[in-house]
Amino acid sequence: MKHIKIFDTTLRDGEQAPGCSMNLKEKVEVAKALERLNVDIIEAGFAISSKGDFESVKTVAEIIQNCSVASLARAVPKDIDAAYEAVKNAVAPRLHIFLATSPIHMQYKLKMSPEQVLENIEAMTKYAKKYIDDVEFSAEDAMRSEPEFLAKAIAVAIKAGAKTINIPDTVGYSNPKEMAERITYLRKVVPETKDITLSVHCHNDLGMGVANSLAAVEAGALQVECTVNGLGERAGNAALEEIVMAINTRKNLYGGETRIKTNELYRASKLVYSIIGMRAPINKAIVGENAFAHEAGIHQHGVLANRETYEIMTPESIGIPSNYMVFGKHSGRHAIENRLKELGHNLSSEEMTVFFKSFKDLADKKKKINDADLEALIGHKVKVSQANEYKLDRFTVNSGNYVTSNAIVRLNYNGKMLEEVAIGDGPIDAAFKAVDKIVKAPPHSLDDYNIQSVGEGKDALGEVFLRIRCGDEIVTGRGLSTDIIEASIIAYINGVTKLL
């Protein structure tokens, strides 16, 4: 069977989505998860876009050993120079250059004639080739480009040395029939495509990102560009987990297979959702809470008789643990460590020490700790102490329907205790205002605030996700505790600290 490459752009296109930005530590964590997934290429970022992006691409390129690492670049020398500097130390570096080929983009954005675009594609592909042999060219807005001109553009790029040609549906305009026809057409009229990898990058504006990607694979594309959980600008990108499991489940239909370790999909999905402060919709394909749930009596009867009656894949195939264990305050470190490994988490000795302390703190508040609690603790695992970091030491709130809510909050900052009091419209608002007085973050607003329970029962953990806006920048915060006010304060500290 043919090998269908998975090009993951969670750290570039996914991270560009509003509210989905990540810091360097989080990007490295996601990159390692992608390496465990065994993706073929990790697009680590857009090196020229900022100093921070350059550093993150460079860091990912230097630590990843089993995947190719790419940086995006516009078809201009300074972008290509920066991209090369960022990825040059990778085990398998790739330069990914792009230039629009649709009439609307050429006229209004590029202000270039078709002839100038072809000249630029040739010159910049050759320019990139002087650095690295593995060059990918993307014809931005390819699906709204004139087919004949698109064919000329990719022929020029291939002749100039591009090893991969990407056909993006940049604005999610296409449908599966059109996508299949376009790939078939290009393979026919540009015979040079037989010597390179033809790729697709589909956005989800009309809800067809995955369908279009799979249609392209059926028509002969050998690389799919996608993101974990379908993150991306606007309505997002094609979802990696959906594409992989569709190909894995219907290998004969698609005539190929990926090298993805599917039992790592659930773990990677949970990690990315946790980092950006979101949860999967309950009906999300593959990784949603209801993806393997059966309530209808007829379905339950069928599943009990034979799981294949209503399940075309198993929970275990994507990494959802099959057995279930409960722990308490008397559970030992070794047992917890073993269970974490079974759940797919291999912590270093130092990380395990910090995690076990968090576990014991939770066990003092909650009698029974299950897998969901362990997964939540992993997602909010306490970091090894760092300088210039605010930590919640203690808080007191006073609230009622006949009194003005007030809060006293004390934070630990490099060993120094800082305390403030504030009043507000409720205990959460008062606590947040007290934190603002201490942290002195730039002016910002709270765009979203969400509390969800982890597990069941009155002692269930409360998980808080919030989103903070500062000008054009959006950051997320996460907090976890059996006390929802404490979880809220932790999440808020986590968010406003990012603004600093």
User: Any residues with CB less than 8 A from the CB of 210 and at least 6 apart, and which?
Assistant: 202, 204, 230, 238, 239, 242, 243, 246
pLDDT of residue 277: 78
Element (H, E) at 126: helix 114-129
Asked whether residue 185 falls in the same domain as residue 246, the answer is yes
Asked whether residue 37 falls in the same domain as residue 176, the answer is yes
Confidence of residue 305 (pLDDT cuts 50, 70, 90): low
User: Any residues with CB less than 8 A from the CB of 1 and at least 6 apart, and which?
Assistant: 251, 255, 256, 257
Q: Tell me which DSSP letter residue 144 carries.
A: G
Asked whether residue 215 falls in the same domain as residue 251, the answer is yes
Asked whether residue 373 falls in the same domain as residue 404, the answer is no
Nearest to 79 by CA among 101, 119, 48, 112: 48
Residue type, 474: I
Query: Hey, is 74 helix, strand or coil?
Result: strand
Is 126 within a domain? yes
Which CATH number does the domain housing residue 427 bear? Answer: 3.30.160.270
Confidence of residue 296 (pLDDT cuts 50, 70, 90): very low
- Statement: residue 385 has pLDDT above 50: no
Confidence of residue 454 (pLDDT cuts 50, 70, 90): confident
Residue type, 470: C
Asked whether residue 374 falls in the same domain as residue 396, the answer is no
Instruction: Give the integer Cα–Cα distance in Å for 91 and 75.
Output: 24
Alpha helices in 144-264 (DSSP H): 147-160, 176-189, 209-219, 240-249, 251-254
Higher pLDDT, 424 or 310: 424
Asked whether residue 113 falls in the same domain as residue 50, the answer is yes
Asked whether residue 93 falls in the same domain as residue 173, the answer is yes
Average per-residue pLDDT for the chain:
91
Instruction: Give the integer Cα–Cα distance in Å for 110 and 326.
Output: 59
Is 239 within a domain? yes
Find the angle CA(317)-CA(323)-CA(328) to the nearest 5 degrees: 135
Name the domain boundary from 254, 275, 296: 275
pLDDT of residue 299: 47
Between 18-27, 141-150, 202-211, 383-392, the lowest mean confidence (pLDDT) is in 383-392
| CB-based burial label for 2 (10 Å; 0-12, 13-18, 19+) | exposed
Asked whether residue 45 falls in the same domain as residue 170, the answer is yes
pLDDT average, residue stretch 439-462: 87
Strand partners for 7:
41, 225
Which two tokens mark 36? 């465990």
Confidence of residue 472 (pLDDT cuts 50, 70, 90): confident
Beta strands in 75-226 (DSSP E): 93-100, 135-140, 164-169, 197-202, 223-226
Q: Residue 93 — φ and ψ, nearest 5°?
A: -80, 150
Q: Tell me which DSSP letter residue 461 carries.
A: E
> Tell me: the pLDDT tens digits for 25-68?
889 999 999 999 999 999 999 999 999 999 999 999 999 999 99
Instruction: Give the integer Cα–Cα distance in Å for 439 and 452.
Output: 26
Instruction: Give the integer Cα–Cα distance in Å for 138 and 431.
Output: 49
Confidence of residue 489 (pLDDT cuts 50, 70, 90): very high
- Statement: residue 304 has pLDDT above 70: no
- Statement: residue 383 has pLDDT above 50: no
Is 417 within a domain? yes
Name the domain boundary from 225, 249, 275: 275
Name the domain boundary from 256, 275, 294: 275
Higher pLDDT, 463 or 345: 463
Which two tokens mark 464? 């808080």
Instruction: Give the integer Cα–Cα distance in Å for 408 and 480.
Output: 20
Q: Decide: 256 and 2 in contact? Cβ < 8 Å.
A: yes
Is 313 within a domain? no
Higher pLDDT, 320 or 232: 232
Is 306 within a domain? no
pLDDT of residue 275: 85
**Total domain count, the chain:** 3
Confidence of residue 151 (pLDDT cuts 50, 70, 90): very high
Longest pairwise C-alpha distance within the chain: 78
192: left (phi over 0), alpha (psi -120 to 50) or beta: alpha
Tokens 């709270």 belong to residue: 446
Higher pLDDT, 305 or 469: 469
Confidence of residue 295 (pLDDT cuts 50, 70, 90): very low
Asked whether residue 174 falls in the same domain as residue 194, the answer is yes
CA distances from 357 to 315, 382, 384, 410, 497 (A): 30, 9, 12, 21, 23
pTM of the model: 0.85
Instruction: Give the integer Cα–Cα distance in Å for 496 and 428.
Output: 15
Nearest to 34 by CA among 66, 62, 4, 70: 66
pLDDT average, residue stretch 218-236: 97
Is 98 within a domain? yes
Asked whether residue 154 falls in the same domain as residue 175, the answer is yes
Confidence of residue 455 (pLDDT cuts 50, 70, 90): confident
Asked whether residue 38 falls in the same domain as residue 155, the answer is yes
β-strands 164-169, 135-140 pairing: parallel
Is 113 within a domain? yes
pLDDT of residue 388: 62
Is 307 within a domain? no
Asked whether residue 245 falls in the same domain as residue 166, the answer is yes
- Statement: residue 459 has pLDDT above 50: yes
Confidence of residue 324 (pLDDT cuts 50, 70, 90): low
Which CATH number does the domain housing residue 7 bear? Answer: 3.20.20.70
Q: Which range marks the domain in which residue 338 is found?
A: 333-379
